[in-house]
Amino acid sequence: MANISSIHIIFFLFFITSGIAVSATVFTLHNSCPYTVWPGTLSGNSITLGDGGFQLTPGASVQLTAPTGWSGRFWARTGCNFDSTGRGNCVTGDCGGVLKCRGGGVPPATLAEFTVGSANAGMDFYDVSLVDGYNVKMGIKPQGGSGNCRYAGCVEDINEICPNELRIIDPHTGVIAACKSACAAFNSPEFCCTGAHSSPQTCTPTNYSAMFKNACPSAYSYAYDDASSTFTCTGSNYLITFCP
């Protein structure tokens, strides 16, 4: 798994505390795609939601409950084929060839990232990230709660506008299955925000990240795209929709 989105996990973990009395958070994962997806989950602490991964057929929903202080991410795996033991593989978002992920997904994959009940008055932090690339449309809708509880997401099909050099082709269908980040495609500091480009001052938007941002203005387009891409809410549950 590419480590570029670890910047977000570190940012979220900074806010975790167990001293705030906030009720548990319910995540509802809903598949509005016309095909089956296999959501993967990754926790920033010891609480794994949904056993790490599961199948979600078109129109189906699953509810997962996270305790205060939970942090982690959700993503959709596509084109998966698992046997009766849970072994197999996915065209996008694969997490080691298993149904129940024990780690993050292989980029490119659209990510929904959360920290719930942080040290900042029990506030939740959330975002949709394209820093590790894109595979499916995704939206996060707060349900209840207080504060600036805005919808976050990427509801445009970036695969349709993905440049040739960033495309992942489904070997079974021949169609574009995902769009790489420039970091994954070229592995250079200016795209990965590493080395001499490892600060907000030296890692600035590129033509590739601008493409992601123009298509999905409320989603993270590169590592330091915080100002317009991180959202907050307090005491909310969340509806995460694949293909909203």
CA torsion, points 100, 174, 154, 29, in degrees to nearest 10?
A: -30
Residues 128-173: tens digit of each pLDDT: 999 999 999 999 999 999 999 999 999 999 999 999 999 999 998 9
CA distances from 244 to 29, 59, 134 (A): 11, 11, 15
Q: Report the C-alpha gap between 222 and 97 in whole angstroms.
A: 27
Q: What domains lie within the chain, and their CATH numbers?
A: 6-242 (2.60.110.10)
Q: Identify whether the C-beta of residue 49 lies closer than 8 Å to the C-beta of residue 56.
A: no
Average pLDDT (102-129) is 91
Of 70-79, 100-109, 116-125, the poorest mean pLDDT is in: 116-125
List the helix and strand counts (H, then E) for the chain.
Answer: 4, 14
The yes-or-no verdict on residue 21 having pLDDT over 50 is no
pTM of the predicted model, to two decimals?
0.88
Specify the pairing of strand 71-77 against strand 38-43.
antiparallel
Report yes or no: 38 and 80 within 8 Å, Cβ to Cβ: yes
φ and ψ at residue 7, rounded to 5 degrees:
-60, -40
Residues 45-89: tens digit of each pLDDT: 878 999 999 999 999 999 999 999 999 999 999 999 999 999 999
The full DSSP string for 64-104 is EEE-TT-EEEEEEEBS-EE-TTSBEE-SBS--SSBSS-SSP
Query: Can you give the pLDDT at residue 120?
Result: 62
